[in-house]
Amino acid sequence: MDNVKQLLAVRRDKLQKIRDLGINPYPNHTKRSHTIKELKDNQEQFVADSQQVTIAGRLVAMRRQGKIGFGNVKDESGRIQIFVRKDTTGEENYELFKLFDLGDFVQISGICFVTRTGEYSVKANEVTILSKGLRPIPTVKEKVVDGQTRRFDEFADVELRYRKRYLDLLLNPQIKRTFEIRARIMREIRTFLDGRGYLEVDTPTLQPLYGGANARPFVTHHNTLDMPLYLRIATELYLKRLIVGGFEKVYEIGKNFRNEGMDKTHNPEFTAIELYEAFSDLDGMMEITEAMISTVAQQVLGTTELQFQGQAINLQRPWRRDTMLNLIQEHAGFDASSFDRDAIAAFCGEHNIEVDENAGPGKLITELFDTFVEPHLIQPTFVIDYPKEVSPLAKSKPGNPKLVERFELFIGGNEYGNAFTELNDPLDQRERLTAQSRLREMGDVEANVVDEDFLEALEYGMPPTGGLGIGLDRLIMLFTNNTTIKEVILFPTLKHE
RNA sequence: GGUCCAGUAACUCAGUCGGUAGAGUAUCUGCCUUUUAAGCAGAGAGUCGACGGUUCAAGUCCGUCCUGGAUCACCA
């Protein structure tokens, strides 16, 4: 018999022994009177009064010695020591206590007191099993040395942590903070936008056509309708339809799905917010981006100055704004404003930047930007004036037909958001999407597809509109000082074991 | 996808020059009525990621593959 089977068999055996005592190892009801935090908050009084309490939680440590035993019970609010004596619980109940294993959910009734060594504890007069565990839980021990908690045999295997996130949360409770911050960020974004009169909406995740970004989709099939459906890569085109329909301020927070590679900043499904505001524009989107992110930081973290990977980042408004071409000039010493493809391609070649033969000058300019500029944009920076060639949904910049009114937001060398003055000229939009479909024919699998229904909606008239998208997982990474997107997603996508 | 690193007991990790697989924790047995990384004595527990090769002999050397991490490329 191998070790795991042996360990499982021991637990099964104890389970049967509990049943043999006439005790249900999975009772329906709990009689908790206090959370552990409530015990701690009232320590002085509860000890003075020998307060009778009933706590419930997971048994996370056990130190048995003959006819007594110490253990530690943990609920979501905290962790406390229990003290069990045979002559206090009685013979029969002590038999049950001896069948407890680490990881079991237990209920302890007893009085609050302080042990000889000064530890606040519950002295049990009755122990109850709430849920018997059948698998051994990895044991992480802690010792406090000079106020610092040292941990032993930490549950640290990154792969195991992601695959068995429940164990990660249980054994590495500090991980929970990331997801608490995540939830608060979401709530504060909603509070902020609701306060500005925005309406939260839901648009389809399953779409007959996909659009709104450059990406390959996941494809699925609807059996009854016998048609292909795509998991959305963005919410953009549906939200704009709502602007056509007369809503003036809408936003959606939800999952997007992109069928492409994974790395530290890309998970196949990720959470984004998109918002659209009629009668606004790129300047309006910069204002709302600054206001929203700095407000959320203040609400969630209590400050707009944060530390990210050893760098101090200041989210205090206003944020820097500069054009892509200026920034390339500054960091690469190259003037690309001519949009002369040959000259730009030659410069790329000199700096070992791969040049796709189908790439136009605009595409090459963004590659120069990515290489020379992006890593240096540590403090929040709005990069404006993007090449039209790479921005099929953004409105042209007056006075320069090669550029559009678009920004991307960079913080700490990473991209966080993308916004345009939205293109509302239906004929121009049709030309742009048609140009994208030509790129598709030349092999660009991520080029946009022509969405006739969307174009028809624009033909009914869409007001001048500002639109913004922000990758929320990355924002959460920034706020929690994580460099890996998997750390901020509870169940990140992994390959099969 | 390229390169580099890692995968050994349930957990955390050693394993030298190729020579019968190791420790701590956890588990089991015994002792122990104020311990706290409890302690003492003993025991069980492994397809050394998978497959193939070299060799008298492979955890160790070689090849292929799987999984994860780092990095580069691609990608927002």
CB of A383 closer than 8 Å to CB of A324: yes
Residue A147 confidence (pLDDT) above 80:
no
Q: What is the pLDDT at residue A152?
A: 85
Nearest nucleotide to A9, CA against C1' atoms: B27
Q: What are the φ and ψ backbone dihedral angles of A287, each rounded to 5 degrees?
A: -60, -45
**Neighbouring-strand partners of residue A145:** A148
Is any atom of nucleic acid chain B found less than 7 Å from the CB of residue A70? yes
Strand B neighbours among A 286-345, CB < 7 A = none
Q: What is the pLDDT at residue A151?
A: 85
| Domains, in order of start, for chain A | 2-131 (2.40.50.140), 142-171 (no CATH), 174-319+379-487 (3.30.930.10)
- DSSP class per residue in A242-282: HHHTT-SEEEEEEEEE--S--BTTB-SEEEEEEEEEET--H
CB of A352 closer than 8 Å to CB of A340: no
Strand B neighbours among A 206-245, CB < 7 A = 213-215
Distances A463 to A246, A391, A468 between C-alpha atoms, Å: 9, 19, 16
pTM for the predicted model, two decimal places: 0.93
Query: Protein A10 CA to nucleic acid B29 C1', in Å?
Result: 13
H-helix or E-strand spanning residue A170: helix A165-171
Residue A353 confidence (pLDDT) above 90:
no
CB of A260 closer than 8 Å to CB of A216: yes
Query: Protein A171 CA to nucleic acid B7 C1', in Å?
Result: 22
Distances A141 to A62, A77, A122, A354, A456 between C-alpha atoms, Å: 11, 19, 21, 51, 64
| Higher-pLDDT residue of A444, A135 | A135
Q: What is the pLDDT at residue A440?
A: 86
Both tokens of A56, joined, read: 């419930």
Residue A433 confidence (pLDDT) above 90:
yes
Report, in this order, helix, strand and coil percent for chain A, each rounded to 5.
35, 30, 35
Query: Model confidence at A2, in pLDDT bands (50, 70, 90)?
Result: low
Is any atom of nucleic acid chain B found less than 7 Å from the CB of residue A146? no
For A102-142, how does the pLDDT look when each residue is reduced to its tens digit (9 = 90+)? 999 999 999 999 999 999 999 999 999 999 999 999 888 88
Report how many helices (DSSP H) and strands (DSSP E) chain A contains, helices first: 16, 21
Both tokens of A67, joined, read: 């006819």
Both tokens of A259, joined, read: 């069928």
Q: State the average pLDDT over residues A292-310.
A: 94
Q: State the average pLDDT over residues A403-409.
A: 96
- For residues A441, A446, A450, A456, the Cα torsion angle rounded to the nearest 10 degrees is -170
Query: Protein A124 CA to nucleic acid B24 C1', in Å?
Result: 32
Q: State the average pLDDT over residues A244-256.
A: 97
Q: What is the pLDDT at residue A445?
A: 84
Given the DSSP bridges, would you call strands A381-387 and A320-323 parallel, antiparallel or unpaired?
A: parallel
Both tokens of A165, joined, read: 């996130």
Both tokens of A351, joined, read: 């700096």
CB of A293 closer than 8 Å to CB of A283: no
For A11-36, how does the pLDDT look when each residue is reduced to its tens digit (9 = 90+)? 999 999 999 999 999 999 999 999 99
Residue A488 confidence (pLDDT) above 90:
yes
H-helix or E-strand spanning residue A307: strand A305-308
Distances A131 to A15, A134, A170 between C-alpha atoms, Å: 10, 10, 16
Q: State the average pLDDT over residues A250-264.
A: 92
Residue with tokens 């730009």: A344
For A259-282, how does the pLDDT look when each residue is reduced to its tens digit (9 = 90+)? 988 889 999 999 999 999 999 999
Q: What is the pLDDT at residue A349?
A: 84
Nearest nucleotide to A353, CA against C1' atoms: B73
Residue A216, SS3 per DSSP: coil
Is any atom of nucleic acid chain B found less than 7 Å from the CB of residue A4? yes
Q: What is the pLDDT at residue A359?
A: 84
For A49-95, how does the pLDDT look when each residue is reduced to its tens digit (9 = 90+)? 999 999 999 999 999 999 999 999 999 999 999 999 999 999 999 99
Query: Protein A495 CA to nucleic acid B52 C1', in Å?
Result: 25
Both tokens of A121, joined, read: 């504890």
- For chain A, the average pLDDT equals 93
Query: Protein A23 CA to nucleic acid B37 C1', in Å?
Result: 33
- DSSP class per residue in A19-71: HHTT--SS-S-------HHHHHHTHHHHHHTT-EEEEEEEEEEEEEETTEEEE
**Chain B nucleotides with an atom closer than 7 Å to a protein C-beta:** 1, 9-13, 24-28, 31-39, 44-47, 66-76
For A216-232, how does the pLDDT look when each residue is reduced to its tens digit (9 = 90+)? 899 999 999 999 999 99
Nearest nucleotide to A67, CA against C1' atoms: B33
Query: Protein A179 CA to nucleic acid B62 C1', in Å?
Result: 46
Is any atom of nucleic acid chain B found less than 7 Å from the CB of residue A367? yes
Query: Protein A2 CA to nucleic acid B22 C1', in Å?
Result: 18
Q: What amino acid occupies position A212?
A: G
